[in-house]
Amino acid sequence: MLVNQKTMPEKLLILGGTSEAYQLAENLDKQLPQENLNFISSLAGSTKKPNIPAGKFRTGGFGGLAGLKNFLVKEEISLLLDATHPFAENISKNALLASSDLALPFLVLNRPPWVKHSKDQWIEVSSLKNAVKYLKNVEKKTGSLFSTGSIFLTTGNKELWLFQNSLNYHFLVRTVEEPELVSEWPQATFLKDRGPYTLENEIKLLKKHKISMLVAKNSGGISTYAKIEAARYFKIPVLMVRRPEMITAKSCQTVNEAVDWVNLHCSYN
């Protein structure tokens, strides 16, 4: 006599925080029934008031590779998907190692980087440290090249201290949350705002603050691309930080591809 055994649903951990990760969670919540898939989104916890993704979620780090592996085992995770920021190197490397050690199917959702337009004036550097070094060299050779305007700094909260007090430029610093060093950096103007941004508003912002240069990471995506278009509009140079080298893993570039990958693994059940 055959016994009808109910199969367990797949359990997916989404390493998120990006707009693509939010879209992925929303799509999975709508498209895949709970008997096929349970999923949880993990947010880094660097933002005090993050947007809340669809479905279950957690915030905060894991405690390195060992902590991530312990979480995956404890929560009986069967699928791992990395949809973190392209510059979140440590968690991506740990995710690859953890998935390999635990033999978990692993996918990286990595949106494509921005591509330089023929009318863009990009100065590409490999890191924020090298961005500061470039500005110091310009300052040393020409005095203060941007004495009549401000440099628009849009690289996030991390490593802002590299620019603080080391340069004689005025900065407009835009972040999702107010940095701790605001009171220690009177030479800068701080703007707290969250994307997506429109080209019209970015043009107004650059004009209002007399922006002479934009400093940005090549994050890709559409949420913050308007600042690149605005810089192109005003023919302003962009000091662009290149992405770190991507980990070697199975990857895709769109949310739909990620949904298909999850759906494929759920169909095995």
Question: Alpha carbon of 190 to those of 19, 42, 152, 182, 229: distances in Å?
Answer: 23, 28, 10, 7, 22
Of 49 and 262, which is predicted with more confidence?
A: 262
- Fold match, 10-112+246-267 / 122-241: yes
pLDDT the model gives residue 31 = 84
Q: In 209-249, which ranges are continuous DSSP H helix?
A: 226-234
**Alpha carbons 83 and 89: distance in angstroms, whole number:** 12
pLDDT band at 246 (very low <50, low <70, confident <90, very high): confident
Question: Mean pLDDT throughout 210-228?
Answer: 95
Residue extents of the structural domains in the chain: 10-112+246-267, 122-241
Question: Mean pLDDT throughout 67-96?
Answer: 95
Task: Name the residue type at position 107.
Answer: L
pLDDT band at 200 (very low <50, low <70, confident <90, very high): very high
pLDDT band at 124 (very low <50, low <70, confident <90, very high): very high
pLDDT for residue 155 is more than 70: yes
Domain 122-241, CATH 3.40.50.1820 — does that match? no
Mean pLDDT taken over the chain: 89
- As a CATH number, domain 10-112+246-267 is 3.40.50.720
Q: Give pTM, 2 decimals.
A: 0.86
